[in-house]
Structure 1
Amino acid sequence: FAGVAGVDGARRELEEIVAVVQDPGRFRAMGAKCPRGVLLTGPSGTGKTLLARAVADEAQCAFLSCSASAFVELLVGRGAARVRDLFKRARSMAPCVVFIDEIDAIAKARGLLGQSDEREQTLNQILCELDGFDAKADDSELVILLAATNRPEILDAALVRPGRLDRCVTVPLPDEDGREAILRVHGATVRLDAAADLRAVARAATGFSGADLANAVNEAA
């Protein structure tokens, strides 16, 4: 998590997931079930993708990332097949963290306007994959799903019920200290004016996301 700044609360919550991936047997020995998935929520640009990748980096495991829009197909069944292929690949690389960005694109509550049969089949396949995560008691195929959205209120209830994406980690816009930390991380990779007052910039950048701040540093360089 060395390159992740401004999201200390979310980082602390995800450190438990790192521990699970590194030593799942310890959790099972205590009679606990390894978490199957985590939902990352928060505004765009706050670092959800960065955090997901950091989990895999810290756990020193494989990482597969895609956007939910990659599963959206006109032909019924194609999206579900792509989901199966993704998780089959993840199991072959286990332990593995799978990250699906903008999961609301395929996981809206069933019955909502705009949710097609194809998207429902794709969602059903994701649910089946999550339900199958406990099949290997020896952890030889450990896969954990991290999914991100900035619209958690429209997700299908089946996706976030206990045993699926039942852990929700909020990744908010950074506060002043967080903004300064983000500016320092990005400022370390470019040449900034020695007189630059990053604290003052952070104070003036209320409402900026991590992505906004990274762009500001790039523009200033």
Structure 2
Amino acid sequence: MSNFSRNIALWVIIALLVLALFNLFQGPGTGGSATTLAYSQFISEVESGQVRDVTIQGNTISGHYTGGTPFNSYAPNDPDMVRKLNQHGVTISAAPDEEGTPTLFAILLNWFPMLLLIGVWIFFMRQMQSGGGKAMGFGKSKA
């Protein structure tokens, strides 16, 4: 493999890693059109009758206004929240927390720094095994 093709392969791998990291941090919650509310604002919207339905998933609340616009909020441990939602006729659904087993991508992302260090270590070990003909051989004659 020539140096040119190695350089191209290296830049392609770097570009793919940058895109993967960008997609990771641009997860499904960041690009949507749902507005994020403070909990006090969420409660006042419920009390004014503007909330149609909510889904409670752990401490995260997502739902829709009566006009259909989506929103998100974070709920502290409030025992009266469900009672308030029922009093104002809000449809409540619950979903399990998403803290299940990590996906393959998450596992690879967590192991990436260690794998990178191992790769650099292997690279340097191979360079050291090639002998002294490269680094300090500038004064020697090849004739």
- Which of the pair has more CA radius of gyration? 2
Task: Specify the TM-score bucket, using the shorter chain as the normaliser.
Answer: 0.3 to 0.5
Higher relative contact order (CA 8 A, sep 6+): 1
State TM-score, norm by structure 1.
0.25
User: Taking structure 2 as the reference length, what is the TM-score of the superposition?
Assistant: 0.34
